[in-house]
Amino acid sequence: MGREILVLGAGMVGTCTALHLAQRGHAVTLVDRSAPGRETSYGNAGFIQREAVMPYAFPRSLGKLARVALKQGADVNWHLDALPTVAGRLARYWRNSAPDRYPAIAAAHAQLIAHSTSEHAPLIEATGAGDLVRRDGYLLLARSDATLDAAARDAEALARSHGLRAAVLDGDALAAAEPALRQRLPGAVHWQDPWTVSDPGELVARYAAHAQRLGVRLLQGDAATLRQTGSGWSVQTAEGPVEAAQAVVALGPWADRLLQPLGYRLPLFVKRGYHRHYATGQTPRRPLFDADRGLVIAPMRLGLRLTTGAEFARQDAAPTPRQLGLAERHARELLTLAEPVEAQPWLGARPCTADMLPVIGAAPHHPGLWFNFGHAHQGFTLGPATGRLLAELIDGGPTMVDPAPYSAQRFGT
């Protein structure tokens, strides 16, 4: 018998959670302060990363750490005033990236990634969103022979161990595949399994509209007003208070602010990121990841979207888009870009955990409260898979994967 359930957060993760719960007969209210898919889910590079079986580890080589410390690339930036707040969590992140811990974490991550495209597929079909999705992968560009050799070795190993498809292109093959490139490069790795989306926010919006057709009520509201009641949980919305027996926190980078007053001290932090669109006369045929410079160039409806790596800063700190300036300079070495489409770059935050795995499952100390957040770079990729997993946990039936690695209890909270 279906239950009344609140889902807080209408990004890819929360929207897919609501959708899967509605498919199982629950009465779901999806609450967000803005329209579905307009926050973190809007700003990513639009990749559904079937190949991303290895989560982003903390750099461990001295050369890489020095490059990060000196802010020499477009891939990482940091604010000095944020370091005291996040230092402990980054230290745990560094420890979990060590060779004795990382393999088990990667295995747990990979079992979710294995369901990424297969869980998106029925939703794309049901929502008629095929016009937004390409299924021919992306190119990892190498600016040096050393980068190409390392990328090729990694691709071969991952393809063999995880059943993925990757092809190595030499300079001639790359030039033929991407005539828009302005300079000749040593080559690229063509990851063939990922899908790419020309408007990530629109895909979430279509999933949300499908959820509404299944009976999900979509309301504007403030998740910070969540309160425990005698019968469950209550939140304030534009239509007044809404109560339900159970509630799901799918707030991405805002989850920590909600949960700390409830007594949860999870090792969460954010990686901020920027993007901007540019018009171009000749668009690359596929999205491009510049491995040496740490930026992604993705063809989108609004133009070419340049996205940056990670910025470690207070979530509410003023924008410092120095990474995007570097990314634009590097992108212009590869492609002919016109002026930016937007007056100002977009800024968002990725929700991260110190062990690189999302938090999925029951809240340890509050009956009827559930967690689904902390997906780092892969919320857009994993929303349908983890939405299904949480719905299975709420129903108490068999689950698509072993849920134990994602429980909040792993942090001893």
Q: What is the pLDDT of residues 7-26, one digit of tens each?
A: 999 999 999 999 999 999 99
**With bands split at pLDDT 50, 70 and 90, how would you rate the model's confidence at 67?**
confident
Tell me if 176 is assigned to some domain.
no
Any domain includes 238: yes
Using the structure block, give the residue that is written with the tokens 């700190």.
317
Phi, psi (5° rounding) for residue 229? -120, 175
Q: Which domain holds residue 222?
A: 1-56+97-129+197-266+355-413
Residue-level pLDDT at 33: 96
Q: Which two tokens stand for residue 264?
A: 């949860």
Q: What is the per-residue pLDDT for 371?
A: 98
In a domain, 317, yes or no: no
Tokens of 249: 């926190």
Residue 249 within a domain:
yes
pLDDT tens digit string along 184-210? 999 999 999 999 999 999 999 999 999
What is the per-residue pLDDT for 204? Answer: 98
Global pTM value: 0.96
**70 lies in a domain?**
no
pLDDT (tens digit per residue) in 375-389: 999 999 999 999 999
Q: Is the separation of the CB atoms in 407 and 393 below 8 Å?
A: no
pLDDT number for residue 5: 98
Average pLDDT over residues 36-44: 93
Which residues, 6+ apart, have CB-to-CB distance to 48 below 8 Å?
Answer: 116, 117, 120, 133, 194, 195, 196, 197, 380, 381
The answer to whether the CB of 379 falls within 8 A of the CB of 230 is no
Structural domain total, the chain:
1
For residue 25, tell me if it sits in a domain: yes
The neighbour count for residue 135, using CB atoms within 10 Å, is 15
* Cα–Cα dist 241/221, whole Å: 9
Residue 324 has pLDDT above 70, yes or no: yes
* pLDDT at residue 68, as a whole number: 77
Query: pLDDT tens across 146-171, in order?
Result: 999 999 999 999 999 999 999 999 99
pLDDT band with cut points at 50, 70 and 90 for residue 69: confident
Percent of the chain predicted with pLDDT > 90? 91
pLDDT at 135: 98
**Residue 286 class from Cβ within 10 Å (0-12 exposed, 13-18 middle, 19+ buried)?**
buried
Question: How would DSSP label each residue in 206-236?
Answer: HHHHHHHHTT-EEEEEEEEEEEE-SSSEEEE
What pLDDT sits at residue 247? 98
CATH number for position 376: 3.50.50.60
Tokens linked to 412: 């001893």
In a domain, residue 164? The reply is no
